[in-house]
């Protein structure tokens, strides 16, 4: 029988979700940046590994502190709308960036569609990694009598929106809608599968790369869902020179190496 989310799962994810990405020891020249304002980034949960690595490298190089909060894109956008202090916003979909842009909350001229991703079906590695056809019979067989598919909530989480679009395109959504366990963001969904609490999950390829306890058992055709694009932008309220410099670093070839390591496509 499939286990559902526990308080321990939630607590574990919350500690992952809001840990600032500046654990590296200060660089030799860090005293020069001691008075610099901490740069605050609100970013899609799927970027955790890549941005943590980029932030650590930047701090080692400059001594500037980078604080990153990870969650689903739209809730982060709404926090910014409510006045939460953020210098940089990174979304896993264009809709969440559009939400802020239409309200004048992104700094004009800074928005750039920097990264792309793929949508995949994953299973616990202990299940053996056998490929699963994206067909009703195969998916129901993999789920068993009571198993669930873990993914983000389509109402607010980009990966859930992409998952619903893909399954609708493949004429599978109506058959499988009742078999989902919706999570607050993609990394929470990934944990369901990694802990064998769900036999299947729909996440990004980069999330699958980040978790050794899951296997990719199918890849959704790119034509089955809208392009998975990550807009990066500075917020309209950010006046920090340190934020402007870190934003430039995030678009640099050096930072691109961290994205590619996790499996992102660098679009420019």
Sign of CA dihedral 30, 237, 90, 268: negative
Angle among Cα 139, 159, 90 to the nearest 5 degrees reads 160
- Cβ neighbours of residue 23 under 8 Å, at least 6 residues apart? 56
* Residue partners of 2: CB distance under 8 A and separation at least 6: 144, 146, 147, 148, 197, 198, 199
- Residues 130 and 215: their CA atoms lie apart, in Å, by 9
pLDDT, position 268? 86
**CA distances (Å), 69 to each of 3, 135, 212, in order?**
28, 37, 23
What's the token pair of residue 210? 């980040």
Q: Give the tens place of pLDDT for each residue, 134-175.
A: 999 999 999 999 999 999 999 999 999 999 999 999 999 999
For every one of its 268 residues, what pLDDT tens digit does the chain have, with 9 covering 90 and above? 444 444 334 334 433 443 333 333 333 344 344 445 799 999 999 999 999 999 999 999 999 999 999 999 999 999 999 999 999 999 999 999 999 999 999 999 999 999 999 999 999 999 999 999 999 999 999 999 999 999 999 999 999 999 999 999 999 999 999 999 999 999 999 999 999 999 999 999 999 999 999 999 999 999 999 999 999 999 999 999 999 999 999 999 999 999 999 999 999 8
Task: Determine how β-strand 66-71 pairs with β-strand 214-219.
Answer: unpaired
For 41, 176, 197, the CA distances from 241, given in Å and listed in that order, are 14, 49, 45
Q: Which residues contact 101 (CB under 8 A, 6 or more apart)?
A: 111, 233
Residue ranges of E strands in the chain: 39-44, 66-71, 88-90, 112-116, 119-124, 149-152, 180-183, 200-204, 214-219, 229-234, 265-266
Nearest to 41 by CA among 105, 86, 107, 100: 86
Handedness of CA 174, 180, 184, 187 (dihedral sign): negative
Whole-model pTM: value is: 0.83
Give the tens place of pLDDT for each residue, 200-231. Answer: 999 999 999 999 999 999 999 999 999 999 99
Are residues 51 and 41 in contact, defined by beta-carbon separation less than 8 angstroms? yes
Please return the burial class of 217, using the count of CB atoms within 10 Å of its CB with bins 0-12, 13-18 and 19+: buried
DSSP 106: B
Output the DSSP codes for 26-65.
Answer: PPTTGGGGTTSPPEEEEEEGGGHHHHHHHHHHHHHHH---
Which pLDDT does position 22 carry in this prediction? 32
């Amino acid at each position: 029988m499939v286990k559902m989310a526990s308080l321990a799962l939630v607590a574990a994810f919350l500690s992952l979700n809001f840990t600032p990405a500046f654990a590296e020891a200060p660089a030799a020249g860090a005293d020069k940046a001691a008075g610099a304002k901490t740069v605050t980034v609100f970013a899609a949960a799927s970027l955790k590994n890549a941005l943590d690595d980029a932030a650590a490298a930047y701090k080692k190089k400059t001594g500037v502190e980078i604080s990153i909060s990870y969650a689903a894109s739209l809730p982060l956008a709404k926090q910014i709308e409510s006045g939460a202090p953020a210098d940089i916003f990174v979304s896993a979909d264009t809709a969440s960036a559009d939400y802020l842009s239409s309200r004048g909350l992104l700094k004009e001229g800074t928005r750039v569609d920097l990264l792309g991703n793929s949508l995949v079906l994953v299973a616990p590695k202990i299940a053996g990694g056998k490929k699963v056809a994206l067909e009703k019979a195969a998916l129901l067989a993999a789920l068993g009598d009571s198993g669930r598919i873990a993914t983000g909530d389509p109402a607010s989480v980009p990966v859930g929106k992409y998952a619903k679009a893909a399954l609708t395109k493949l004429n599978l959504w109506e058959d499988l809608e009742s078999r989902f366990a919706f999570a607050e963001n993609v990394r929470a969904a990934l944990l369901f599968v990694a802990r064998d609490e769900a036999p299947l999950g729909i996440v990004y390829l980069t999330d699958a790369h980040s978790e050794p306890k899951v296997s990719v058992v199918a890849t959704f055709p790119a034509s089955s869902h809208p392009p998975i694009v990550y807009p990066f932008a500075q917020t309209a309220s950010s006046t920090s020179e340190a934020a402007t410099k870190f934003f430039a670093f995030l678009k640099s070839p050096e930072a691109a190496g961290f994205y590619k390591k996790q499996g992102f496509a660098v679009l420019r």
